[in-house]
A and B are shown apart, each in its own frame.
Chain A
C-alpha cells in the first residue's frame, strides 16, 4: 500500500521522539515568537539575515522564530541539574532557499547543556547518527572541529577580516581562489600552503586525520585533532564509523561554535538535512554555566524523499448507487478500510480519478466490475 510523504514524516518524528525521550531528553516547547533583539544581537548565528518581524501591542518589535537553539539556550537552566537534556519539534520561519519568500519549516533537534562530559558529547553525536539512520540509508555524517582551522589561522597571526575572507572560500572548497587570496593577503609559508590545504582536506576519517596531522601546528589545532581522534575511536569501537567523513572545509561561525561540528546528508536530498555541533561560546554569550552541544534536523527537506510517487489516488474506487441502502454501503466501505485499503466511495468516478481497482456494490459486498 502506498504511504504519503507526510504520513511517513509523521512516523519518523514519532520514532525520533521515542528515541530522544528514552535517553531522558525532555520536550522543550516554546512560543512561536521572541523579541527581535535576540536575533539582531546574534545575527551571525542564523543562516540568513532575514527575520519575519512584527510589532506587538506594546510597540515592541517581535520576530517569528527563525531558529530554536537560541531560544533554548536563552531559557536554559543547566546550573540546577548538572546537564540539561532537551529535544524539540518546532516550526521556524525562514526564507525559502530558492525564492525570496518566508516559509514555515518543521525542525526537530536535541541539545545537551551544562556539564557536558565526553560521554554526553558522544551521546549527542550518536543521537545524530541514529536520527540519520532512522531517515534511511545511505547517509553520511560529516565531522569537523572548529579548533583546527582557527588554531591554524591563529598560529599564522591573521586578522579577523582575513579569517572571514578565507573561511568563506574554504566553505566553497574554492582551492584556486583560496590560494590567490592567501597570496594577496601576504600570508607567509608554511601557513600559506596549510591554509590553502583546508579547502581540500576531506575524506575518510583516518586518512584525512593523518593528512591534517602533517600540517597541524602545536596548540589548539593539534588539540582539535586529538579530540577528533578520540571521538573517532569511540564511534569505531561502537561500530558507528561506517558512515563518517572528516571534512575540514565545514566551518561554522567562531563566535558561536567551538569544538566538534557536524552535518548530515541522506542520499536523495541535495542539501544538508542535519546540522549541529559544540556551541560553548554561545553558552558564554548568554552567561550560562557550562557547555553545550546539539543538532537540528530539517524535516522539510525530507518530505519529498519519504514520499512514494503517487500512482493512484486510492487503492479502491468503491462505486455504489443512490438507491443502495446507506447502512450497507457504510459497512462495506469500512470493511475494505479494515482490510488496510485506501478507499474512495462515490456514485460516479470523479474526473481524472485513478484507482488501482474499481469495485461496485453488489448486495452486501463490493465486487470487481466485470
Chain B
C-alpha cells in the first residue's frame, strides 16, 4: 500500500479528484469525514491529510511514500525528495508587490515582508540586493501599508487582494503549480506501485483542472 500525503484545502481537493480519476477513489473522502487517515476503496492507497507545509516533511521522513504539494512550499522547505511530476493545477505566481508608484531606495537594504523567507532571500541574493526579511504568517499585504516593509513577496492568483490594498506586482519571482513528490527510499522499494501511479497521473492530469 502507498501512503500519500495530501494538503488539506483546495489544492488537496483537486489532487484527490486526480487520484480518484486514476482509479483510487475513496468514499470517506467525499463525505466530509473528519479522520486524517483514509483508505481508498480498493485498499491500495492510504491518504494522509496534513497541513500543506507539512507535506514535504512527511515525505522526506518516509511517513508518506509520496505527496502532492505546491512548488512554493517545496522551494521554501528545501526538503530532500524526488520531484517527479508537475501536475499542472494550482497554477499561480510568486511575486514582489509594492505600493502603487513605489520608488526603491537603493541606498538602504530593502525591507521585505513575506511568508517565504528562504525564497525571498535566494531571489534577492541572486540579484545581489541586500534585504531585511520580515517573516509574517498572514495578511502580508498589510505590511507596506503600515510601513512595516517596503515590499512583499507573496503568492498572487488573481491580483484582486493586491488591488484592494493599493499594491501592484513589480516583479515575478517564480511560477508555481502542484507537484507530485516521492520519498527517495520509497522510489527504490516500491517502484511497482509508484511507476504505474505516475503514468496514470501523467495521463489524467490534463483532464482534471
Q: Which residues of chain A (198-247) have a CB below 8 Å from chain B?
A: 203, 245
Interface residue A61 (Cβ < 8 Å from any Cβ of B) = no
Q: How large is the interface on A (under 10, 10 to 19, 20 to 34, 35 or more residues)?
A: 10 to 19
- List the A side residues contacting B82 at CB < 8 Å: 172-173
Interface residue B117 (Cβ < 8 Å from any Cβ of A) = no
Interface residue A269 (Cβ < 8 Å from any Cβ of B) = yes
Question: A270 near B188 (CB under 8 angstroms)?
Answer: no
Question: A265 near B85 (CB under 8 angstroms)?
Answer: no
Chain B facing A: main interface SS: mixed
Shortest distance between the CB of B14 and any CB in chain A (Å): 18
Shortest distance between the CB of A247 and any CB in chain B (Å): 8
- List the A side residues contacting B150 at CB < 8 Å: none
- List the B side residues contacting A185 at CB < 8 Å: none
Shortest distance between the CB of A344 and any CB in chain B (Å): 33
Q: Which residue of B lies closest to A169 (CB)?
A: B83
Q: How far is the CA of A260 from the CA of B61 in the complex (A)?
A: 27
Interface residue B81 (Cβ < 8 Å from any Cβ of A) = yes
Q: Which residues of chain A (51-97) have a CB below 8 Å from chain B?
A: 97
Question: B188 near A140 (CB under 8 angstroms)?
Answer: yes
Question: A173 near B61 (CB under 8 angstroms)?
Answer: no
B-binding segment of A7-15, A174-182, A308-316? A174-182
Cross-chain pairs A/B with CB under 8 angstroms, 23 sampled: A97-B80, A140-B189, A142-B188, A172-B81, A172-B83, A174-B84, A176-B85, A176-B86, A177-B83, A177-B86, A265-B184, A265-B188, A267-B185, A269-B62, A269-B185, A270-B61, A270-B62, A270-B183, A270-B185, A270-B186, A271-B184, A271-B185, A272-B185
- List the A side residues contacting B83 at CB < 8 Å: 172-174, 177
Given A175-B84, A265-B188, 11 extra CB contacts under 8 A: A174-B84, A176-B85, A177-B83, A265-B184, A265-B185, A267-B189, A270-B183, A270-B185, A271-B80, A271-B184, A272-B184
Shortest distance between the CB of A175 and any CB in chain B (Å): 7
* Interface residues, chain B, with chain A CB atoms under 8 Å away: 60-62, 80-86, 183-186, 188-189, 191
Question: A173 near B188 (CB under 8 angstroms)?
Answer: no
Q: How far is the CA of A142 from the CA of B125 in the complex (A)?
A: 35
- List the B side residues contacting A98 at CB < 8 Å: 61
Interface residue A138 (Cβ < 8 Å from any Cβ of B) = yes
Chain A facing B: main interface SS: loop
Question: B60 near A265 (CB under 8 angstroms)?
Answer: no
* Interface residues, chain A, with chain B CB atoms under 8 Å away: 97-98, 138, 140, 142, 172-177, 203, 245, 265, 267, 269-272
Q: Which residue of B lies closest to A249 (CB)?
A: B82
Shortest distance between the CB of B181 and any CB in chain A (Å): 9
- List the B side residues contacting A265 at CB < 8 Å: 184-185, 188-189
Q: Which residue of B lies closest to A267 (CB)?
A: B189
Q: How far is the CA of A98 from the CA of B54 in the complex (A)?
A: 12
Given A138-B189, A203-B191, residue A270 in contact with residue B86 (CB < 8 A): no
- List the B side residues contacting A272 at CB < 8 Å: 184-185
Q: Which residue of B lies closest to A264 (CB)?
A: B188
Shortest distance between the CB of A162 and any CB in chain B (Å): 16
- List the A side residues contacting B183 at CB < 8 Å: 270
